[in-house]
Amino acid sequence: MGDVIREETRRRGLEPDAKNTGEVMKQLRLELGEAAVAELCLDEIRKAGSDRIVVDGIRSISEVETFRKFADVILIAVHASRRRRYALLKERGRKDDPLSYEVFLKREERELGVGIGDAIALADEIVSNEHTTPEKLAGEIAEAVDLWVEQNAR
């Protein structure tokens, strides 16, 4: 979902840095509604032509509800402490990642303001990313999805 925001930021003639992408995210929601980013993602999802799609970057239940209009959805919250999330963002090194812990905390506040806390609280599954590797995390998520698919196929 962040890709959609970064693309829209560029389309508006702005550098896709932390400040601009945050502002564009808020503007999209004001202009098009709380589920704006999910709506913009649907075209790409339809093009994928797969029976399983992973969407990361959910920020609100409205976005989840938008996806649920078109497919069966399992919402998996990936949880880690603030310090771990900040370290992972620094390690990732994208232009729109926060440059300092203080900027990271402001980003967290903004995301809580659009409803990420509700999405986490209402997740179907929660997986910890506190003390794991990307490979193990991906395995846990795949296992949760497989179990969910199996249970919902009945």
pLDDT truncated to tens, each residue of the chain (154 aa)?
999 999 999 999 999 988 899 899 999 999 999 999 999 998 888 888 777 888 998 999 999 999 999 889 999 999 999 999 999 998 988 888 888 999 999 989 988 988 899 999 999 999 999 999 999 999 999 999 999 999 987 6
pLDDT at site 96: 81
Q: What is the DSSP letter of 69?
A: T
| Residue among 31, 153, 144 nearest 39 (CA) | 31
Burial bucket for residue 2 (CB in 10 Å: 0-12, 13-18, 19+)? middle
Q: How many domains does the chain have?
A: 1
pLDDT at site 154: 65
Q: 81 near 128, Cβ under 8 Å?
A: no
pLDDT at site 74: 93
Residue 11 is encoded by which pair of tokens? 């389309």
Q: 57 near 2, Cβ under 8 Å?
A: yes
pLDDT at site 44: 82
pLDDT at site 50: 78
pLDDT at site 64: 95
**What is the C-alpha separation between 6 and 105, in angstroms, rounded?**
20
**What is the C-alpha separation between 70 and 11, in angstroms, rounded?**
27
The CATH number linked to 68 is 3.40.50.300
Domain that holds residue 138: 2-152
In three state form, how does the secondary structure of 22-39 look?
Answer: HHHHHHHHHHHCCCHHHH
